[in-house]
Amino acid sequence: MKSAHEYQRKAEECRQRASRAVHPADKAGWLLAAQDWQNLALCIEQSAEQRGLTAALSAAGGVGREVRDVGH
C-alpha cells in the first residue's frame, strides 16, 4: 500500500498539470484526478488513525470485552 504522502504528491502533480493546461476540459480532468488522489490520501490517513485507535484500545483491554450497564 502506498503512503498518504505519495498520494498527496500525485495530487499536487495533477494540480500543476491543470495549471499548465490550455483547454478547459483538460484542466477540469486534471483537477478531478487531483481530487481523486487527495481523497485516496485522506482514506489512507483515516485508516492509519483507525488502526492506531484499535491498537490502543486493544492494548488497554477495551477491544473484545462486552459492555455492561453500570448500576443496573
63 domain residue, yes or no:
no
65 domain residue, yes or no:
no
Amino acid at 63: V
Is 40 in a helix, a strand, or coil? Answer: helix
Residue 41: domain span: 4-55
pTM (predicted TM-score): 0.70
User: Which pLDDT does position 42 carry in this prediction?
Assistant: 95
In total, how many domains does the chain have?
Answer: 1
Cα 26 from Cα 20, distance rounded (Å): 10
39 domain residue, yes or no:
yes
CA distances from residue 27 to 14, 17, 23 in whole angstroms, order as listed: 9, 8, 6
Cα dihedral 19, 21, 24, 29 sign: negative
20-31 pLDDT tens trace: 999 999 999 999
15 domain residue, yes or no:
yes
